[in-house]
Amino acid sequence: MINIAILGFGVVGSGVAEVIKENSDSLSEKLCGQKLNVKYILDKRSFPDHELGDRVTMDYDMIVNDPEVVMVVETMGGSHPAYEFTKKALLAGKNVVTSNKEVVANFGTELLEIARENNVNYLFEASVGGGIPIIRPMWQCLAANKIESVTGILNGTTNFILTKMIEENMSFDEALKIAQSLGYAEANPAADVEGLDTCRKICILASLAFGKTVSPENVHCEGITNITLSDVEAAEKLGYSIKLLGKAQATDAGTYVITSPFLVGFDNPMAGVNDVYNAITVCGNAVGDVMFYGRGAGKLPTASAVVADIVDIARECKKAITWTLSDTNPVIDYKSAKVRFFVRTPDASAKDLFPGCVFCDTDEGYAFITDELPEAKLCEILANIPVLSKIRVL
């Protein structure tokens, strides 16, 4: 029997218990007849009507000091006390599996090193793509490649909102209310719509891809709160859809990492990724582009990824995932990177400032896409005309 403890019995934590129960026989076959057993559940609440209600404790030391518990599953969310609990478990020689992108993004380097020193695992497949396998494929299946870029729709809530705006001509506020009514968005949706959730996830992927710690505090982050129906309509006229992306790319100057809305051409498969679905494209120098697609969130999809990590550890498959702490910030100034921009302006003189660009008429003036140039230079040029909106182009 393989004893585990689940920290936090909310949506994901209860989903982990459900997957272990429902797939008990098939999991046992994968583990050579051994059974996964939820010995403890750490939560402030009691669950008297749940079949595992007798496993609930509020005493974390009981878990850490129990030699029968070989694995801790952290599904609490937030940085604290999840970070402290994770560190204590690793130092006690227990493996840890997590779905907590905030802890991985902010403390992953330290926790991975502690895991290495104590000869245990710290795995976090569910922290980025929910049910989409991405950490394991990047670390194992694409190991022969030098990763050149990672780009992804990493937040189902914002993708749902943008889909409603694009397909049903809804305003941002209208689409947000529907997302909240369906449970896709929290009452306070800031972490989603302001891009922070996506930023944490692309930092994890960038750290993994390029081998140096990428911290969210060093990454430029924009959300979708300023996207309007006028932007959506003008982008469509030019052959593009708007998506919130996390993007990390290796350049000669360093690593370009950003979270922001992007225009994505209709010929790009990512333009057709709608509703709460996520998609991540990884470009390797040998394999080229590969895309991972599926539900990026939800109780059972996320729990599926958590349990996959549990099974890997229970099989005694050592997963020495690591990246190093850089002495200097590996992320370049985003304004130094060359990009194309979609611009809307009421001023016809923009045609003189951007000769050769294709313009389309809009209700409020003109929309066009610039040539590739450093973002700082673009800002200088645009200082001479009124700008209704500007959005990066993938």
Predicted confidence at residue 156, as pLDDT, reads 94
Predicted confidence at residue 183, as pLDDT, reads 85
- The SS3 of residue 98 is strand
Distance between CA 352 and CA 388 in Å, rounded?
A: 18
**Which candidate, 300, 262, 306, places its Cα nearest to that of 281?**
262
- The SS3 of residue 25 is helix
Indicate which residues carry an active-site annotation.
Answer: 201
- CB neighbours of residue 322 within 10 Å: 16
Tens digit of pLDDT at every position of the chain (394 positions)? 999 999 999 999 999 999 999 999 999 999 999 999 999 999 999 999 999 999 999 999 999 999 999 999 999 999 999 999 999 999 999 999 999 999 999 999 999 999 999 999 999 999 999 889 999 999 999 999 999 999 999 999 999 999 999 999 999 999 999 999 998 888 999 999 999 999 999 999 999 999 999 999 999 999 999 999 999 999 999 999 999 999 999 999 889 999 999 999 999 999 999 999 999 999 999 999 999 999 887 899 999 999 999 999 999 766 667 777 666 678 999 999 999 999 999 999 999 999 999 999 999 999 999 999 999 999 999 998 999 999 999 9
Q: Which neighbouring-strand residues pair with 340?
A: 393
Q: Which neighbouring-strand residues pair with 365?
A: 362
Q: What CA–CA distances, in Å, run from 334 to 38, 249, 250, 273, 343? A: 46, 11, 13, 26, 18
- pTM (global) more than 0.85: yes
> What one-letter code names the amino acid at 314?
A
Predicted confidence at residue 330, as pLDDT, reads 87
Residue 324, CB-side half-sphere exposure with 13 Å CA sphere: 6
Residues contacting residue 137 through CB under 8 Å, at least 6 positions apart: 282, 290, 292
